[in-house]
Amino acid sequence: MTTSFVPALRARWRDADTLVCVGLDPEPAKFPARFAGDPDAVFAFCRDIADATAAYACAFKPQIAHFAALGAEDALERLIAHLHAAHPGIPVILDAKRGDIGSTARHYAAEAFDRYGADAVTANPYLGRDSLEPFLERADRGVVILCRTSNPGAGDLQDLIVSDDGRGGRPLYQRVAERVAGDWNGHGNCALVVGATWPEQLREVRAIVGELPLLVPGVGAQGGDAEAVVRNARSADGTGLMVSSSRAILYASAGDDYAEAAAAAARGLRDTLNAAR
């Protein structure tokens, strides 16, 4: 990438007319039979899916745990290098949900941006700004910060009412949104994660953060309503969203047409999202 994360993302929204983020979460047990016995199956499958869906993607999002659990970190490095070489201009978000302090945070930033070459990384704000400073200070890279996640237990902490400067309090996720948009986004390289399973919360977060990009997981296999996402969370110009789908695209077919089926699923999601703008 030669353009910083958010400008590249905005260019992709404009030029490719898509809000789809293609998640790359390899699970070899779900691969088509043709990959059986292939020692490089993880890289080859993800490459094929990415190549097939690139025309419909505003971003790619490989999930680091899916590679690391398989001992496939080398495949992840090669995959991101391939994405940049074959599909320049499409940002790559490393889904790692990092968050730590001191030198450990700096090592995590180096891992994401220098080792893997990601254009952005997901991060956890629970430890506060200093834990994310090594990511935030990389002005050319994106920091996609957890705000209101899509899992059923999200509300255990994220919905807790916290002090709101004498205004009666508000949920923690709204304070996170406010703090990121107002104080942490000095380089204009922040985005927030807000799950598709919470359309009302999406609307509230959009009202707080203005044009800040939102990464929205939970569409497809997790049951989020794609049209409700766009209605509630699009920015003023009808963009502002990276609507992430992984399993519904990756495993659209277990046959030899896996790549074509993935492309059709990504195209269908793009069309559904665009129709709701």
Tell me if residue 97 is catalytic.
Answer: yes
Separation between Cα atoms, residue 194 and residue 205, nearest integer Å: 8
Catalytic residue (choose from 97, 106, 170, 179): 97
| Antiparallel, parallel or unpaired: β 170-171 and 161-162 | antiparallel
Show the DSSP H helices in 87-171 as ranges: 102-110, 129-136, 155-158
Separation between Cα atoms, residue 209 and residue 46, nearest integer Å: 33
Separation between Cα atoms, residue 107 and residue 135, nearest integer Å: 10
Number of H helices, E strands in the chain: 12, 10
Structure tokens at 178: 């406010």
The partner residues of 94 in beta bridges, in order of sequence, read 121
Residue with tokens 């499409």: 90
User: Chain centroid to CA 228: how far?
Assistant: 18
Of 186, 102, 87, 97, give the one whose Cα is nearest residue 137. 186
Q: What is the 3-state secondary structure (H, E, C) of 22-52?
A: EEECCCHHHCCHHHCCCCCHHHHHHHHHHHH
Separation between Cα atoms, residue 244 and residue 147, nearest integer Å: 15
Separation between Cα atoms, residue 214 and residue 238, nearest integer Å: 12
102: left (phi over 0), alpha (psi -120 to 50) or beta: left
The set of catalytic residues is: 97
